[in-house]
Each structure stands twice: as C-alpha cells, then as structure tokens.
Amino acid sequence: MSFISNAFAQGSAAGGAESSLMSFLPLILMFAVLYFIMIRPQMKRQKEHRNMLAAMAKGDEVIISGGIVGKVTKVSEAYVGVEISDSTEVTVQKSSVTTILPKGTIKSL
C-alpha cells in the first residue's frame, strides 16, 4: 500500500511543475496586454511632451495646463515667461505647458 502512495506522489510532482507554469500563464499574458495597451503609449506621450518642451522657444504660442493661452517671452531651464495680454506676463513651470500652437493662432482668437 505504501508503494501505491509513493507512485501517486511521484506522478503528481511531475504534473505539478507543469500545472504551476500553466497557472502563471494568464498572469504573464495579462501583464503583456497591460504593457502594450497602457504603459507603452503613456511612455510615448511622455517622450513627445519632453521633446516639445525642449524645442520650445521665445515667440511660441502655447496653452498652459489651466487653459490660459499666451506667447512665450522667456525660456529658462525650469520656468517659462508667458505673456497672456498686452502688459501681463506670468511665470509658470515649463512642465505646465501642454500644447504649442501654430504661429498666428492667438491673433485669430
């Protein structure tokens, strides 16, 4: 009788390794789908935003994250001076600029 239980134990050990791999397969597939649907596009957007901020220059027309539209007057490493009306200039963090508009957009508003 003890021979039979040993035989079952050996058979289940070989199947156990295979079944544990199969139990991780859905988890691995879910991570792969999550990466391609959420993580990779987000990293691409961050890279585009970083490149946009690096290319920003004086005279560009921008939209700030609060919805304010203005023209860039000063660009430093971390801050940007934005003229929002004729004699009003605000200093904002460079990362708060969400969009660089085509030239002449402010005049048409």
The answer on 7 and 51 residing in a single domain is yes
In the numeric block, which tokens belong to residue 40?
A: 């990779």
- 87-99 residues labelled b (16+ CB within 10 A) or e (exposed): eeeeebeeebbee
Backbone angles phi, psi at 102, to 5 degrees: -65, 150
Q: Grade residue 57 by pLDDT with cuts at 50, 70 and 90.
A: very high
Torsion over CA: 59, 77, 99, 109 (sign): negative
> Can you give the residue range of the structural domain that contains 22?
1-55
On whether the pTM is more than 0.85, the answer is no
> How far does Cα 76 stand from its chain's mean position?
24
The answer on 3 and 48 residing in a single domain is yes
**pLDDT tens, residue by residue, 4-52:** 555 555 544 455 667 888 889 999 999 999 999 999 999 999 999 999 9
| Strand partners of residue 67 | none
**pLDDT tens, residue by residue, 58-83:** 999 999 999 999 999 999 999 999 99
**pLDDT tens, residue by residue, 89-105:** 999 999 999 999 999 88
At which residue do the structure tokens 């007057």 appear?
73
The answer on 103 and 71 residing in a single domain is yes
Name the domain count of the chain.
2
pLDDT score of 20: 83
